[in-house]
Amino acid sequence: MTEPGDPRGTRWGTRRFSLRGRVTLLAAACVAGAVALVSIGAYMVVRSNLYQQLDDGLMARAEAAVASPQVQTELRQVPGAFLASADLQIGQLTAAPDVQHAVMTYPLSSSAPPFGPDELAVANGDSPQSMRTDFRTDSRVVALPSGHGEAIVLAQSMGPTKRTLNELALVLFLIGGAGILVAAAAGTAVARAGLRPVDRLTSAAERVARTGDLRPIPVSGDDELARLTQTFNTMLGTVADSQERQRQLVADAGHELRTPLTSLRTNLELLLAASKPGAPPLPDEDRVDIIADISGQLDELTQLIGDLVELARQDEPRERFERVELLDVVERALDRARRRAGEINFDVSLQPWVLTGDNSSLERAVLNLLDNAVKFSPPHSTVWVRLYPLGDGTAVVEVADAGPGIAEEDLPKVFDRFYRSSEARTLPGSGLGLAIVKHAAERHGGAVYASRAPEGGALMTIRLPGAPG
C-alpha cells in the first residue's frame, strides 16, 4: 500500500501502463474486436444457412409425401412416404373440431410427430401450411394439406444442426483466441522494435540530466522516430552551443574584469596606505590623479556590467514581438547620441520602415553604432546616418564616421564579444557594444556588416527584414 506521494507507486504505475504495454494491449484489443465481429458474423450466416437448409429440406419432403401414392395397409390406405421416413417423424393428421379429437396416423416403426393447433388448422383447411419449432421435442414441424380433411405432418430433430453449430462456435473461439495471442505477441515485438529509438531518447535525456553529457544520439532510418531523434540532437546541439557561449562569456568577462579590478585595488591600497598614521602623505596632484583613475575605472566597470546584462537580457526568449517603426527607433537613438556627442555633427537621411520586433533592443543596437562612430570621430567631424530600403524586402541602417577606419584584418572580428582593435584599446569601452548590435540584428532575422566608408572612416550596417512604412 503506497501513499499518494510515494515514488514507488509512481514507478509501479508507470511500468504497469507503459507505452509498450499500451501498444500491446491496443493491438490485442483491435484483433479481438475484429475476430469477434468476424466470428459472430460467420456464425450467424452459417446458422441461418443451416436452419434454412433444414426448413427447405423438410418442406420438400413434406411436399413429396403429399404427392406420394397411397399404400394399402391392413387397416387403411396411408401415403407411401410412410415407408421411407426413417430419419424423421411423419404422420397423417385427420381433421377434427379440436386437438383432443384429432387422430394422428403414423408408421409403427416410428413415433408420432408432435402436432397442435397450427397443424390442425392445416388439416381443417383453415391454413395452407404451417412450419414451427416444437421446443418440447426440439424439432422443426411442418404440415401440408393432403385433401379429404387430412394433413401430412413431418417433424425433424434440430439436434444434429445444433451440434454442428456448437462445433463451429468452438472452432471459431479457439481460432480467435489463438489470433488474439498472436496479435499480442506481434504487438509486443512491434512495440519493442518501434519504441527502441524512444528508449534511446529516454536514456539520452536521463544521461543529460545526470551527467550533463550533450553527445548526439545515433540516428537510423527516416521515419517519424528518426526525425524525432534528429530534432532531439538539434536541441542537444543548441544547448551545447548555449553552454559554450555562456562559458566563453564568463571567461571573457572574467578576463575583462580582471584589469580594472586590479587597477582599482592598487589605487585603493595606495589611498589606504597613505591614510595610515605615520605614512608619508600623498601629493595633492597624485591624489587627484588616483581619484580620477578610480572614477574612470568605476565608469568602465559600470558600462561592462551594463553590457553584460544587456547581452543576458537579449538571450531570453521573447513570447511576443510588437510592431516597430524603425524610423522612430533611429530618431530616438539619435536624440540620445546627440546629447553626448559634443562637437560631432550628424548628417541624417531616413525613410520609413516597419518590422516586428523589440523596440528597446533595436534602439540599443542603433545607439551603440552611433556611440561607436562618435568615439572614433575627430572633433567637428560628421557622422552619416542613413535608413533606406533595398527593394528585396529588407532595409539597412548605415552609420559612417570620419575616423581612422578599420584595418582589413580587424573587419571579420569587430562584432565578436570583447574584441578590441589595437586603435581601440586605449579608448573607453567594454568591447561588447558591437556584439550587442550583432545579437540584436540576428535575433530579428537580419545581419550586420563592417566596411570602410567612402570618407575613409568605418561604415557599420544593420540589415533587417520588414516592409515600407
Range with the poorest average pLDDT among 26-40, 158-172, 405-419:
405-419
Q: Can you give the residue range of the structural domain that contains 431?
A: 322-468
**Predicted pLDDT at 86:** 58
**Predicted pLDDT at 75:** 45
Residues 6+ apart with CB under 8 A from 399: 366, 369, 370, 372, 373, 383, 384, 385, 459, 460, 461
375-407 pLDDT, tens digit per residue, is 888 888 889 999 999 989 999 999 999 888 887
Residues 330 and 462 in one domain: yes
For residue 300, give the C-alpha cell. 568602465
* Residue at 422 is within a domain: yes
Query: What's the pLDDT band for 66 if we cut at 50, 70, 90?
Result: confident
The separation between the first and the last C-alpha atoms of the chain, rounded to the nearest angstrom, is 68
**Predicted pLDDT at 91:** 87
Of 434 and 467, the structure prediction assigns the larger pLDDT to 467
For residue 224, give the C-alpha cell. 517519424
**Predicted pLDDT at 469:** 74
In the block, cell 563592417 appears at 450
CB 395 within 8 A of CB 467: no
Residues 339 and 462 in one domain: yes
DSSP 3-state of 36: helix
Residues 288 and 368 in one domain: no
Q: Is the pLDDT reported for residue 348 higher than 50?
A: yes
For residue 252, give the C-alpha cell. 571573457
Q: How far is CA 373 from CA 399, 423, 440, 453, in A?
A: 7, 14, 18, 11
Residues 326 and 464 in one domain: yes
From 259, 288, 316, the end of a domain falls on 316
Number of structural domains (the chain) is 2
Measured over the CA atoms of residue 212, residue 216, residue 218 and residue 224, the dihedral's sign is positive
Range with the poorest average pLDDT among 27-36, 76-85, 384-393, 442-451:
76-85
In the block, cell 401440408 appears at 144
User: What is the b/e burial string over 161-194, where b = at least 16 CB atoms within 10 angstroms of the residue's CB?
Assistant: beeebeebbeebeeebeebbeebbeebbeebeee
Q: Is the pLDDT reported for residue 173 higher than 80?
A: yes
In the block, cell 452459417 appears at 46
Residues 293 and 389 in one domain: no
* Residue at 144 is within a domain: no
From 275, 290, 316, the end of a domain falls on 316
Range with the poorest average pLDDT among 127-136, 347-356, 412-421:
412-421
Measured over the CA atoms of residue 243, residue 244, residue 249 and residue 254, the dihedral's sign is positive
Residues 464 and 327 in one domain: yes
Residues 301 and 327 in one domain: no
- Compute the mean pLDDT over every residue in the chain, rounded to the nearest whole number: 80
* Residue at 23 is within a domain: no
Neighbouring CB atoms inside 10 A of 13's CB total: 11
For residue 442, give the C-alpha cell. 540576428
In the block, cell 404422420 appears at 91
Q: Looking at the DSSP assignment, which residues form a beta bridge with residue 274?
A: none
CB 72 within 8 A of CB 96: no
Q: Is the pLDDT reported for residue 416 higher than 80?
A: no
Neighbouring CB atoms inside 10 A of 113's CB total: 26
Instruction: Give CA torsion, residues 311, 246, 447, 301, to 10 deg.
Output: 40
Residues 224 and 306 in one domain: yes
268-300 pLDDT, tens digit per residue, is 888 888 778 877 877 878 788 888 878 877 876
CB 216 within 8 A of CB 229: no
Q: Is the pLDDT reported for residue 12 higher than 50?
A: no
* Residue at 206 is within a domain: no
Q: Is the pLDDT reported for residue 10 higher than 60?
A: no
Cα 355 from chain centroid (whole Å): 31
Residues 387 and 267 in one domain: no
What's the number of CA atoms in the CB half-sphere (13 Å) around residue 143?
Answer: 33
% of the chain with per-residue pLDDT over 90? 21
From 316, 344, 360, the end of a domain falls on 316
Residues 259 and 365 in one domain: no
Question: What does the alpha-carbon distance between residue 234 and residue 214 come to, in Å, rounded to a whole number?
Answer: 10
Q: Looking at the DSSP assignment, which residues form a beta bridge with residue 349?
A: 386
Closest among 165, 144, 142 to 58, alpha carbons compared: 142
Cα 405 from chain centroid (whole Å): 52
Residues 332 and 439 in one domain: yes
Q: How far is CA 438 from CA 308, 415, 427, in A?
A: 14, 6, 21
Closest among 388, 412, 383, 415 to 400, alpha carbons compared: 383
Give me the mean pLDDT over the 1-29 stretch.
61
Residues 357 and 268 in one domain: no
Query: What's the pLDDT band for 71 if we cut at 50, 70, 90?
Result: low
For residue 262, give the C-alpha cell. 586590479
In the block, cell 601629493 appears at 283
Range with the poorest average pLDDT among 54-63, 215-224, 227-236, 335-344:
215-224
User: Nearest 5 degrees, angle CA 58-CA 62-CA 64?
Assistant: 115
Question: What does the alpha-carbon distance between residue 28 and residue 24 come to, in Å, rounded to a whole number?
Answer: 6
Q: Is the pLDDT reported for residue 208 higher than 60?
A: yes
Question: What does the alpha-carbon distance between residue 169 and residue 443 come to, in Å, rounded to a whole number?
Answer: 70
Q: Is the pTM of this model over 0.95?
A: no
What DSSP letter does each residue of 346-386 carry, written as one string?
A: EEEEE---EEEE-HHHHHHHHHHHHHHHHHHSPTT-EEEEE
**Predicted pLDDT at 304:** 67
For residue 166, give the C-alpha cell. 456448437
**Predicted pLDDT at 351:** 93
Residue 264: give its domain's CATH number. 1.10.287.130
In the block, cell 545526470 appears at 210
Closest among 392, 384, 390 to 351, alpha carbons compared: 390
Closest among 298, 304, 391, 374 to 339, alpha carbons compared: 374
In the block, cell 413429396 appears at 64
